[in-house]
Amino acid sequence: MLRLPRFRFVSPPSIEEAIHIRTEHPATSMYVAGGTDVYPKMKRRQFQPEVVIAIGGLVRDDFRGGTLAPLADTLPSVAEEGPLPLGPLPLGLRIGAGATLTEVAEHPRVREGYRALSIAAGLVSTPQLRNMGTIGGNVCLDTRCNWYDQSLFWRTAEGYCMKTHGDVVCRVATSSPRCLAVASADTVPALIALGAQINVVGPNGARTIDLAECYREDGINYLALEPGEIVTEIVLPPSDGWRSTYLKQRDRNSFDFPIAGVAAAVRMDRGVVTDARVAITALGSRPVRVDASALVGTKLDDEAIGAVADATHKAARPMDNTSGTISQRKRAARVFADRALRSLRDD
């Protein structure tokens, strides 16, 4: 049985106090919300924090007091919106980062206006873990690799990798100057396709980031967040005229992480596409937004869909560090993009 190492668990009363504790222990502390990924990795000694800082409840309902500024003059502040984990905005939808994946998947407004997100959240892991895991945690999900996601005993016997010990080579590609671990979050491509932004708070204050700009092509330093920053909420733009979906390939149709995932969203006006976004996951060290401009001005005809499916295939750059072969996963990217876009056509 894998057991958790000894650590100090801290449940601060506010986001500010959580950030203060993290700043006091920058190299030996971690934030945790649902813990569905953090605690298993602690058991495998992939993470070995001395201090674990609980923030799940804080990013769920501790938004009063003006810590977060309004996103724009036309949008109300979080304090005006109140403490609900999921709440409407006049121009879109706000989701507290501590909302569980089950809540996100089953919320009526998400199902109706942001279908890709509802599908993606509902395909993460198992019902039990979706009841614990949070949308913020999935947005910040650690990258994965067959050489990294193993027990300490396995890694000690087989040999460590760059992600565990930076002074050794990447075991996937020994000539690579960087870690090639895979970004494997389901909700992220859906959120990117839907045009999501995130609000974060840290030692230097609050800021808003386009979610697509939040990731780096680096399996170790995969998040473009400053030290100590906390993702507090996800903000989605208006869904009027948009339709979206998400398709996922995995070894088993429950529990498993994606080995290829494609999210697609199109905005239609009188049957013609006026805007389109496609994003992929599990096919590189960061989620990738695909050029879907070929769809604009069309009625989602076969030629336009084929062009974007080809662009998706080109953007997919899987490595041999998860299930499935490289060629099979690249083909899946094209096929899933084609299927996803065809499903968004008018009946």
Q: What is the DSSP string of 74-132?
A: TS--HHHH-S-SEEEETTEEEEETTSBHHHHHH-HHHHHH-HHHHHHHHTSS-HHHHHH
Does residue 192 lie in a domain region? yes
Does residue 147 lie in a domain region? no
pLDDT band with cut points at 50, 70 and 90 for residue 86: low
CA 87 to chain centre: 20
pLDDT, averaged across the chain:
90
Does residue 160 lie in a domain region? no
| Same domain (yes/no): 36, 127 | no
Q: Nearest CA to 261 among 192, 202, 345?
A: 192
Q: What is the pLDDT of residue 89?
A: 54
| Same domain (yes/no): 105, 240 | yes
pLDDT in tens, 116-173: 999 999 999 999 999 999 999 999 999 999 999 999 999 999 889 999 887 788 999 8
| Same domain (yes/no): 33, 104 | no
Q: What is the pLDDT of residue 216?
A: 96
Q: What is the pLDDT of residue 73?
A: 30
**Rounded Cα–Cα distance for residues 194 and 266 (Å):** 9
| Same domain (yes/no): 208, 324 | yes
Does residue 150 lie in a domain region? no
Range of the domain at 297: 93-141+182-343
| Same domain (yes/no): 190, 44 | no
* Across 251-269, average pLDDT: 94
Does residue 77 lie in a domain region? no
Number of domains in the chain: 2
Q: Nearest CA to 121 among 189, 170, 73?
A: 189
Does residue 214 lie in a domain region? yes
Give the CATH number for residue 52.
3.30.43.10
| Same domain (yes/no): 189, 261 | yes
Give the CATH number for residue 253.
3.30.390.50
| Same domain (yes/no): 129, 28 | no
pLDDT in tens, 172-194: 988 899 999 999 999 999 999 99
| Same domain (yes/no): 102, 192 | yes
pLDDT in tens, 60-81: 753 332 232 333 333 333 333 3
Three-class DSSP category at 32? strand
